[in-house]
Amino acid sequence: MVHLRIVAPVDRSERVVDLLERSASTCNLVLLPGAARKPAGDVILCDVAREDASVIVDDLRELEIPRDGSIAIEQIDSQLSAGAERAIRAARGAASDAVVWEEVEARTSESTELGGHFLTFMVLACLIASIGIYLDSPILIIGGMVVGPEFGPIAGLCVAIVHRRVDEARRSLIALAVGFPLAILAAYLFTLFAQASGLLDADIESSRHALSDFISHPDAFSFIVAALAGAAGVLSLTSAKSGALIGVLISVTTILAAANIGIAAALGDWSDWRGSIAQLAVNLVAIVLAGVGTLYVQRLLYKRRLRRHHSEGSPFAIAAPTDPPKSS
């Protein structure tokens, strides 16, 4: 279930209540007249089956509630209610497959911001992965992959492409365009420092590191794995199954490829440098293509659900007032 907190102008709150009352997939409807002060209006609380959350919000958009009021969406972790069970049964489909698009947009929008935390995590992830490459340590290599925050902007780019939002796509691309070069530079400088300080042998060669050798030699499986990981990552975001996202981060070798680019440049191994750049490019392209394809299919299913909702007579259409009769 999803909880909605709606602030509606007084002249439209009755229509919002009618809309929610007529929907079989809603329950626990509460009206608090005049409770809101900024913006002024009535506060309406409601629980809705996850499958119909975006459909209900679409009806509220028709009433221009987001423009003159507000809609807050919260996930309900647990609820004991026979009414909620009836609302879930009334909604078509499975809750685990439902996508709350407003939730997805908000989550990915936060991840596209180019800020200090994002850049810091990119640098730290690349440094951890670099040390993992030095020591041939699977634990450190995986740790660097998990710490890397790059999937956020990639997912944000996929959502922006599907929704055709140029500004969000630009923010995601800027975050990736700044984050990866900075992380590569950090790996490069750290490798030079490690050599100069004696932490690494002066004659070390990147080709000696067996665990990272596959990074500099991309093949068809590199594209396949990245595409599968991209699809799984998008599904984990749209279904709110964050646990699956950890496995996605471990499957994607973007951070490891970035670290190896910096290491190979510092060691003058230009063959590995070119191979790692190719690996990074293959991963990014495959993830975006798979992510956009997955979101596009989910969006088509949502649009079909929305058309069915309106063809059956949406609560909004029933609740809308008619023009008063003209006096003769």
Backbone angles phi, psi at 4, to 5 degrees: -110, 130
Question: How far apart are the C-alpha atoms of 253 and 227, rounded to whole Å?
Answer: 12
Query: What's the confidence (pLDDT) of residue 211?
Result: 64
Stated pTM of the model: 0.80
Contact 248, 151 (CB under 8 A): yes
Sign for the CA dihedral angle at 84, 89, 90, 93 comes to positive
| Adjacency order of strands within the sheet including 26-37 | 26-37, 40-48, 2-8, 70-75
Structure confidence at residue 263 (pLDDT): 93
Q: Where are the domains of the chain?
A: 2-98, 104-306
Identify the segments of the chain with pLDDT beneath 70. Answer: 95-97, 202-212, 240-251, 312-328
Contact status, residue 112 vs residue 132, Cβ threshold 8 Å: no
* 236, two tokens: 């984990």
Angle between helices 254-267 and 166-196 (to 10 degrees): 40
HSE-CB for 272 with a 13 A CA cutoff? 25
- Specify the CATH class of 104-306 in words: mainly alpha
Separation between Cα atoms, residue 5 and residue 48, nearest integer Å: 11
Q: If we measure between CA atoms, which residue out of 231, 275, 237, 279 comes closest to residue 254?
A: 279
Tokens standing for 186? Answer: 């950090």
CATH number of the 2-98 domain: 3.30.70
DSSP state of 322: P
Please give the Cα distance from 186 to 123 (Å, whole number): 6
Q: How far apart are CA 218 and CA 207, in angstroms?
A: 15
- What pLDDT is stored for residue 235 in this prediction? 86
Task: Give the pLDDT of residue 328.
Answer: 35
Q: How far apart are CA 271 and CA 277, in angstroms?
A: 10
**In angstroms, what is the C-alpha Rg of the chain?**
25
Inter-residue contact 125 to 255 (CB < 8 Å): yes
